């Protein structure tokens, strides 16, 4: 998916919402736990209920890999079920030496047909470059994450800058705004304005709104650029909004609340 098409979808839907399908088999409604294909049925109903309110879905591969071969099959079928109009993210946090990253890129872009995959930059340029060789595909690079452990490395001072600032600036030069995004946690909203000075035109994938306490208003005010340039991911607050047979309708209600708030921040 191109940047132009993604931006077009955002303006058409008045939404930069990304729904996270971090589907845990033990947390889906009990009536679905008895289904032989309960996780996939859960995902289908969530997608059907929210697809007009969001522009992207993020599948956290760990929840599917933990189920073994069955999980990979569910992940592939879920991704195929998401409409082609939506940006499809594999939240897999890959990153290894070049020939290994070649295979990761092939797995997520060719076999599973995702539009983007999250990657870790710690091993340097040759671990990221393979993900940048696919036209219309994206590497979403970990920049400043919302977990407490981000203090351990990301926020170490390197000269006059933090390490995460050095990483974002350098990685931005390996690709373009057309194929590189950055993960910036919503609980670090106060730093987004500074990050925008480094990458004013790149998209930012922002997790952490919802259960983690991030503020959509703060993220939006600090991060929106001329093409909006944000994908705000909400996972548990939407997909686990309800635990009964009406769970999809309840998920839709929460997704709609986020979308309606986003309308206020999108400039025509």
Catalytic machinery residues: 93
Distance CA 202, CA 181 (A): 6
92 contacts: CB under 8 Å, gap ≥ 6: 61, 104, 108, 117, 118
Distance CA 165, CA 198 (A): 8
Distance CA 230, CA 159 (A): 29
Within 51-105, where are the H helices? 61-65, 69-81, 98-105
Distance CA 52, CA 261 (A): 15
Per DSSP, what are the bridge partners of residue 14?
A: none
Signed CA dihedral, 222, 8, 207, 158: sign only: negative
Name the phi and psi angles at 3, rounded to 5.
-60, -40
Q: Which of 172, 171, 230 is nearest to 206 (CA)?
A: 230
Residues in the chain: 268
């Amino acid at each position: 998916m191109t940047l132009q098409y993604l931006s077009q979808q955002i303006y058409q839907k008045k939404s930069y919402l990304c729904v996270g399908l971090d589907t845990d088999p033990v947390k889906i409604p009990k009536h679905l736990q008895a289904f032989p294909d309960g996780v996939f049925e859960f995902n289908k109903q969530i997608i059907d209920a929210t697809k007009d309110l969001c522009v992207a879905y993020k599948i956290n591969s760990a929840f599917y890999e933990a189920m073994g071969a069955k999980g990979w099959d569910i992940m592939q079928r879920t991704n195929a079920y998401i409409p082609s109009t939506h940006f499809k993210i594999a939240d897999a946090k890959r990153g290894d030496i070049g020939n290994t990253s070649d295979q990761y890129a092939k797995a997520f872009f060719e076999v599973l047909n995702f539009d983007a995959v999250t990657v870790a930059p710690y091993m340097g340029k040759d671990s990221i470059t393979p993900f940048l060789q696919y036209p219309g595909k994206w590497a979403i690079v970990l920049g400043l994450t919302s977990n407490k452990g981000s203090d351990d490395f990301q926020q170490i001072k390197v000269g006059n800058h933090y390490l995460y600032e050095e990483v974002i600036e350098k990685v931005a030069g390996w690709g373009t705004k057309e194929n590189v995004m950055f993960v910036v946690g919503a609980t670090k909203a106060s730093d987004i304005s500074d990050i925008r000075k480094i990458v004013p035109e790149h998209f930012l994938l922002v997790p952490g709104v919802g259960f983690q306490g991030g503020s959509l208003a703060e993220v939006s005010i600090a991060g929106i650029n001329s093409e909006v340039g944000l994908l705000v991911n909400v996972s548990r607050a939407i997909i686990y909004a309800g635990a009964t047979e009406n769970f999809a309708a309840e998920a839709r209600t929460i997704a709609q609340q986020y979308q309606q708030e986003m309308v206020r921040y999108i400039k025509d």
